[in-house]
Structure 1
Amino acid sequence: MSIVTYIGLNFSVKLNEYYKENEVEIDYVFSNEENRDVVKQKHFTTPYIYEVLEKGNPIWQMNEYQKIHSPYNYEKSKKTFLYLCHLLKELLPQGDYCEVYICWLGEEDEDREDELKINLNNPQIEVLNIYEKYFIRIEN
């Protein structure tokens, strides 16, 4: 099984167009249409669902546990998340938002563990704790 980072947008994107510096890629990697439909119905309000392939370190490891027990991996995850924020700042029109949901493939219909809201103008990275089954609304 794999952990999937789903991203929902209010507009369609060309797959692989937003891929730079080996950090993240917006594409379809592990999921199928049925998995994405479940995420869309259960968690998202956005109509276009993709995956974020994290080439660096997964963003779900950017949390207090990793900060204490594996600071190197935490820093790599933070770098990946900062890159994703930078990409979304360029991609999302002002006033728009996207949604991110992280879960194990096949567990899309399970309940969320927690929710976060992030503003790209002031993301406050140091206080974020991101784990699996987290829903994140990212606003520009």
Structure 2
Amino acid sequence: MSLASYIGCNVEIPLSDDDSNDVILIGNCFSDEVHRINVKKNQLTTDYVYEVSTHWGINISEYTNQRVRTESRQKLIRLCEIMDEYLGKGDYFELYTCWIGEEYEEREGELTIQLKNFDIDKISIPERTVVRFEK
């Protein structure tokens, strides 16, 4: 199985170039259209849904190993930098991570974070948690 992360926002975001070496990519990796429809319908409140990845989702919790937590923190910081470019004051984006095929399952938690005002070392974002990043 594959761990996928999705973002939802109310503005259209361009997909990453296929040859990009960025730590986070916006575009399809593990998911297909049905997965994105299910996550939009069951988890997110926005008009646009994208998979974000570099071949593994964002998972920051006590249950992940140190390497995965470190990589996920780097991905999340970069994702917030990217989204900051597209969001206006008062806008938000949502992040949801789950195993492929679990997009319709009940979420395990919700969290709201200020886009530019959080301590990456003090947050926990386990799978099946909707995180709203407000600008």
TM-score range, shorter chain: 0.7 to 0.9
Q: Distance in 2 between the 1:71 and 1:103 partners?
A: 19
Partner of 1:63: 61
Partner of 2:81: 86
Secondary structure at the counterpart of residue 118 of structure 1 = strand
Deviation at 1:133, TM superposition (A): 0.9
Partner of 1:107: 102
Partner of 1:117: 112
Deviation at 1:108, TM superposition (A): 0.7
1:133 and 2:128 aligned? yes
Identify unmatched segments of 5+ residues in structure 1.
none
Alignment TM-score, normalising by the size of structure 2: 0.86
Alignment TM-score, normalising by the size of structure 1: 0.84
Q: Distance in 2 between the 1:78 and 1:133 partners?
A: 17
Task: Provide closer, same or farther for how the CA distance between residues 82 and 20 of structure 1 changes in structure 2, counting only shifts above 3 A.
Answer: farther
Secondary structure at the counterpart of residue 85 of structure 2 = helix
Secondary structure at the counterpart of residue 74 of structure 1 = helix
Identify unmatched segments of 5+ residues in structure 2.
none
Identity over aligned pairs, percent: 38
Aligned residues between the structures = 134
Following TM superposition, where does structure 1 have runs of at least 4 consecutive aligned residues deviating by more than 6 angstroms? none
Say which of 96, 114, 120 aligns to 2:91.
96
Secondary structure at the counterpart of residue 11 of structure 2 = coil
* Structure with greater proportional helix content: 1
Secondary structure at the counterpart of residue 111 of structure 1 = coil
Q: CA-atom RMSD, angstroms?
A: 2.0
What's the CA shift string for 1:32-62, capped at 9, x where partnerless? Answer: 221111111111110111100136x7420x2
Secondary structure at the counterpart of residue 39 of structure 2 = helix
Partner of 2:32: 32
